[in-house]
């Protein structure tokens, strides 16, 4: 129904899980949450069709949505959890001997016809802190919006880090890298640590994939950032246990299961029924 549903190939993953065509997946009749979110699952300015269903990862976005007067929520768990279930060996190394840190720079956004979305911060200071903190080789993951800015990409390459990009999430059904989450999962299963300068989706994915998390450094500023959700102060207040250079792993796993909605994942038959994906002969 909405092009956000195919971001990162999530609609394709759910179709495959349900035993359906994942090259041209059936449409999801509503809005699918595409990333971890401290609010109701979407940005504050997102427009919804009246009466449309909202498919959220966990119960917290559902509750926050209800507090805003929105109804028709279904909690289904994060599509990444379904991918992990379907691909238990993707990216695993012999003996599960992980090494290194996969470090995600907080990223901006880009949409045709829309302004804003660039990040601004002290990259030199962040690089110095990463080098002081991490004891094993570091791979820097840049979203394509930063990877295409040479002044950012080169600053990390010149510092001696390997710099990678997992691809584009797409826009209006164009340019979606269907293998985005597959490549991300494989990389996370090879890494010992996952880190970022902001608590974000990748941190929770990393914990779910078996990494030890860290969140530290200059949080940077985002052009056009909407303050409606309370910013970094609210994150520190509500998710303080997920911030720092040495986070308790058991606590991180418990919070991750809650935020990704592990208890809410569904068997294929139930998900097909929810999405109205059953065949009518």
CATH no., domain 95-259: 3.40.50
CB-based contacts of 184, cutoff 8 Å, min separation 6: 166, 202, 205
Per-residue pLDDT of the chain in tens (281 residues, 90 and over written 9) = 678 889 999 999 999 999 999 999 999 999 999 999 888 877 766 677 777 899 999 999 999 988 888 889 999 999 999 999 999 999 998 887 999 999 999 976 665 544 446 778 899 999 999 999 999 999 999 999 899 999 999 999 999 999 999 999 877 767 789 999 999 999 999 999 999 999 999 999 999 999 999 999 999 887 666 676 678 888 999 999 999 999 999 999 999 999 999 999 999 999 999 999 998 76
For the chain, domain boundaries: 3-87+261-274, 95-259
**Placement of tokens 């009246």 in the chain:** 50
């Amino acid at each position: 129904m909405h092009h956000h549903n195919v971001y990162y190939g999530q609609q394709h993953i759910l179709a495959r899980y349900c035993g359906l065509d994942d090259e041209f997946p059936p449409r999801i009749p509503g809005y699918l949450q595409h990333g971890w979110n401290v609010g109701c699952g979407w940005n504050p300015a997102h427009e919804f069709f009246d009466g449309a269903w909202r498919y959220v990862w966990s119960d917290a976005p559902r509750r926050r949505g209800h507090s805003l007067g929105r109804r028709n929520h279904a909690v289904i768990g994060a599509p990444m959890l379904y991918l992990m279930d379907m691909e238990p060996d993707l990216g695993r190394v012999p003996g599960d001997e992980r090494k290194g840190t996969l470090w995600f720079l907080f990223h901006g956004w880009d949409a045709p016809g829309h302004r804003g979305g660039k990040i601004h911060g002290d990259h030199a200071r962040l690089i110095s802190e990463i080098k002081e903190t991490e004891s094993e080789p570091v791979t820097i993951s840049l979203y394509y919006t930063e990877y295409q800015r040479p002044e950012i990409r080169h600053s990390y390459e010149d510092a001696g880090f390997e710099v990678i990009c997992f691809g584009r999430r797409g826009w209006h059904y164009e340019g979606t890298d269907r293998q985005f989450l597959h490549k991300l999962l494989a990389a996370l299963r090879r890494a010992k640590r996952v880190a970022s300068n902001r608590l974000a989706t990748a941190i929770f994915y990393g914990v779910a994939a078996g990494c030890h998390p860290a969140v530290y450094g200059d949080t940077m500023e985002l052009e056009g950032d909407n303050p409606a959700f309370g910013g970094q102060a609210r994150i520190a207040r509500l998710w303080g246990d997920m911030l720092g250079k040495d986070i308790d792993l058991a606590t991180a796993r418990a919070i991750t299961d809650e935020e990704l909605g592990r208890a809410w994942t569904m068997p294929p038959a139930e998900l097909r029924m929810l999405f109205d994906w059953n065949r009518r002969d």
